[in-house]
Structure 1
Amino acid sequence: MPRFFPIDIHSSKTPNIGEFFVFGERNSGTNFADALLRNNFPQLSASANDRMAKHGFRYGWKHGFPQMIAAPDTTLAVVMFRDPERWVQSMHRQPWHGAKHLRELTFSDFLAAPWQSIVDEKNFGITSGADPRAYAELQWDRHPLTGARFDNILQLRNAKSAGFLSLKNRFSNVIFARYEDVANAPAEFINMIGQTYALTARAKFVSVDQQRGRKSDGKFVRHVYDDLTQTDRDFIWSGLDTKQEEILGYIP
């Protein structure tokens, strides 16, 4: 049986978990992790998800910089990361909320393009196309302090990862995990969470076989990506914060 290795775990002395929330960039397995926890911990099935409620997102936009109004000790924060090479390939294939022109670029041009997102779905609280905010630039993907656009998707990752890592200073109970580890050992992931946070999982493990963890999206089929060219790989790693990637476990 494979052993699950999280990046980092923080647990209060007497965890009293009443809900969880999953954070992480797009295409990093957040929906997969969310579905795993809902399927296997019945007591957490009513936790807030990534759908905007009447008064907004409960803990902020899960793909954004930390912006929750509070981080209760009873909330378990689950933070997901993904291998940077596969992540940028997945973002090129499906750049959720990315501006239209980004979707038309070759992979190499996509890597180097200034990042821009748009408000393109009702889940941002825009219910009508007549709303002047509809299809305007999504400010949550700009630098949270300066308001500047990121020079490229790699700079976006550097900043977002720093924001996600800061959650250990905000929540008393938080686990940082790599998508690859969770996907390869989902039952071990659930067992580890149960043991660490004193949560009782279902007697029989319930897997997640649907795309994005949703039946409406159909059965999950793993996408096979082409090998990166050396030029693209060099560009990616020259733009990444390597000290941060080492913390995430993507540099041995």
Structure 2
Amino acid sequence: MQVVNVHIVLLLFFQLPSSFGLSRTRSERLRALIFGEHVLAPLPPVDPLPSQAITTRTPIRRIAVIGERNSGTNFMFRFLTTNLDHTSYSFGDHFCQHKGCKPFNNSNPKHCYMRPQDGFETSEYLVSSFRNIAEHPYADALAVVMIRNPYDWAFSMHRNCWCYRRDIRALAPFEDIMTIEWRDNCPKPWLGEEVMGKCSSMMECRALKMINFFNMTKWAPNVEIVRHEDVISQEDSLAWLSRVADKYNLRMSTSYIQPVEKYKNWKRKRFDRDNTMATSPWFNSSVIENNATIKEYVMLINAKMNQAVESFAGYPQLLVKNIAPASSTVT
């Protein structure tokens, strides 16, 4: 999704569609949602600037880690600040702050839409309009954007959406949080919005954020889109930072790259990679095959997500076998 702080509309949170009778089992209701009609809202195009378009770079001085909630931003921030030289770089989660990207409703800027100060894709910021990239306002800034596969992300959002009354949200059925309207706490100026809008579902908000992230490359010269899955292991994260350090000529704090085990600043918050991968439908297909409920949840995510955007991000739809509409017999 794009950078948005999203709130669930409180009045709609416990409201079920009128077509669902109390006599239906939860599985029948889920299948009605899965196989019902899904009309996805039209979205802006994914149109990033090809990475090879920039051949020379200005030395980096500022590094910001941004991304949707539950996508690994805390891990990445800690990983970079642990390994990169603090005398050479300033670190933060406000990529656009110095050019006017300000929080809305006390939201965290790293989860907001990213845009230049005076609009989207203006001639002042378009990378393609600069003959000398060193003159670009963001020439010395690196944005590290974290994204995560839609399945683990949706389940994490259900457990903790980092939104208003998140404890109550976590107690509601998964299908409720997937099908209710969400409210954007940030306007989308490139769509002509000057006030907050709404998303028909959490997955629509996700798609909007992801499009915004990908399209940052058109007006910011140094953007690294990082899939959570590509840095989930120590070996992968160390290899990733080694490549990025070479690409941007980043100065390390020590002679070797240090792994990070804790994904938040609190000592008790340790990342259990093995458990995460064992219980993830993305990494472990048996989670879907052996759990009928997870199978239905994955189907619901498939129905609600924007497949074009997810595919662009490298997240093809997970295939689910042997599931039928509510009116049919399940094999």
Please state which band the TM-score falls in when normalised by the shorter chain: 0.7 to 0.9
SS at match of 2:146: strand
Q: Is the 8 A contact 2:114 2:213 kept in 1?
A: yes
For 2:91 and 2:101, the matched residues in 1 are separated by 7
Per-residue displacement from partner, 1:131-174 (whole Å, max 9, x unpaired)? xxxxxxx722x655443211111111111111111111121111
Match of 1:205 among 257, 272, 295: 257
For 1:95 and 1:45, the matched residues in 2 are separated by 35
What is the CA-CA distance between 1:43 and the residue it aligns to?
Answer: 4.3
Q: Is the 8 A contact 1:9 1:176 kept in 2?
A: no
Give the letter aligned to residue 90 of structure 2. Answer: S
For 2:300 and 2:81, the matched residues in 1 are separated by 38
For 1:51 and 1:217, the matched residues in 2 are separated by 25
* Equivalent residues, number: 220
Q: 1:67–1:217: structure 2 CA closer, same or farther, 3 Å change rule?
A: farther
Tell me the equivalent position of 1:115.
182
Is 1:242 the counterpart of 2:294 in the alignment? no
Written as runs of structure 1 = structure 2, the 5 A alignment for 1:89-108 is 89-100=155-166, 101-108=168-175
Is 1:20 the counterpart of 2:66 in the alignment? no
For 1:99 and 1:163, the matched residues in 2 are separated by 27
Q: 1:242–1:51: structure 2 CA closer, same or farther, 3 Å change rule?
A: closer
Written as runs of structure 1 = structure 2, the 5 A alignment for 1:57-206 is 61-69=109-117, 72-100=138-166, 101-116=168-183, 139-140=185-186, 145=191, 146=193, 147-184=196-233, 185-201=236-252, 202-206=254-258
What is the CA-CA distance between 1:217 and the residue it aligns to?
Answer: 4.8
TM-score after normalising by structure 1: 0.75
Q: Is the 8 A contact 1:108 1:232 kept in 2?
A: yes
Give the letter aligned to residue 93 of structure 1. Answer: R
For 2:158 and 2:100, the matched residues in 1 are separated by 26
Tell me the equivalent position of 1:124.
none
TM-score after normalising by structure 2: 0.59
Tell me the equivalent position of 1:119.
none
Per-residue displacement from partner, 1:14-33 (whole Å, max 9, x unpaired)? 33111111121001011111
Task: Mark the runs of 5 or more structure 2 residues left unpaired by the alignment.
Answer: 1-49, 104-108, 118-124, 126-136, 281-286, 289-293, 318-331
For 2:100 and 2:87, the matched residues in 1 are separated by 18
For 1:59 and 1:200, the matched residues in 2 are separated by 29
Is 1:231 the counterpart of 2:296 in the alignment? yes
Q: Is the 8 A contact 2:143 2:222 kept in 1?
A: yes
Q: Greater CA radius of gyration, 1 or 2? A: 2
What is the CA-CA distance between 1:221 and the residue it aligns to?
Answer: 3.5
What is the CA-CA distance between 1:233 and the residue it aligns to?
Answer: 1.5
Q: Is the 8 A contact 2:78 2:263 kept in 1?
A: no
Q: 1:242–1:21: structure 2 CA closer, same or farther, 3 Å change rule?
A: same
For 1:90 and 1:240, the matched residues in 2 are separated by 16
Q: 1:59–1:85: structure 2 CA closer, same or farther, 3 Å change rule?
A: same
Is 1:32 the counterpart of 2:84 in the alignment? no
For 2:111 and 2:138, the matched residues in 1 are separated by 19
Give the letter aligned to residue 37 of structure 1. Answer: L
Q: Percent identity?
A: 25
For 1:32 and 1:45, the matched residues in 2 are separated by 21
For 1:51 and 1:172, the matched residues in 2 are separated by 16
